Amino acid sequence: MMEKLYLKQEAPRVRGEVTFFDVHENEIYHSRGSFMPMPQKCCAGALPPIPKEYELTDANDQAVVRILRTSSILTPEFEVMNLIAGVPICKTRKKSRITKATVVITTEQGNYLVDGSIWHHEFDILNEQGIKIINMQKKSLVWGDTYEITIDSSQINVHSAAGIVLAVDCTYHSGN
């Protein structure tokens, strides 16, 4: 069964907030947290600490997914955790090549492949058998940055898919 979510980002993403909506524009998930440096006093010229996690909360303000940075800015890697089931969803890490960068997604069921352009937010995520489990593309004829995400809910639950999409975006755009 295919389900659709719509992701809306603030522009520019200073606080990194994103909101996921259903087809009727009801808010389904909202992010809290950021990976951006936060202004605060520094000691002896030290850099301020970087917040290291996002949480996706549902419409009842219950945290459903946590995305945790597990490495430095130069080698972005994130762990995605399903807080409802208390199990890991995946790890993402950036893999740079001379021609382009991509994101590697590792799960307990195997590696997922990102196919398409992460930079343009138009990509598919395929499982190890080559089955498309998530499609993300920019929604046309709307104001602002809105993306349509199609999820094969027979392969992955919706909140896990939302967490993976957000982790792929964070991983790809970190350290640029």
Q: What is the pLDDT of residues 133-154, one digit of tens each?
A: 999 998 876 666 788 999 999 9
Instruction: Lowest mean pLDDT of 65-69, 91-95, 116-120, name the range.
Output: 116-120
| Side-chain-side CA neighbours of residue 157 (13 Å) | 11
Residue 112's pLDDT is what? 94
Residue 73's pLDDT is what? 60
| Side-chain-side CA neighbours of residue 145 (13 Å) | 14
Phi/psi of residue 163, nearest 5 degrees: -65, -40
Residue 97's pLDDT is what? 64
Q: Please check whether residue 76 is in contact with residue 170, taking contact to mean a CB–CB distance below 8 angstroms.
A: yes
Residue 111 confidence class, pLDDT cut points 50, 70, 90: very high
Residue 96 confidence class, pLDDT cut points 50, 70, 90: confident
Instruction: Lowest mean pLDDT of 16-20, 23-27, 63-67, 107-111, name the range.
Output: 16-20
Q: What is the mean pLDDT of the chain?
A: 81
Architecture of domain 2-39+46-173: Beta Barrel (2.40)
Residue 43's pLDDT is what? 45
pLDDT at 13 over 90: no
Q: Please check whether residue 149 is in contact with residue 161, taking contact to mean a CB–CB distance below 8 angstroms.
A: yes
Instruction: Look up residue 119 and give its amino acid.
Output: W
Spell out the domain ranges in the chain: 2-39+46-173
pTM of the full structure: 0.81
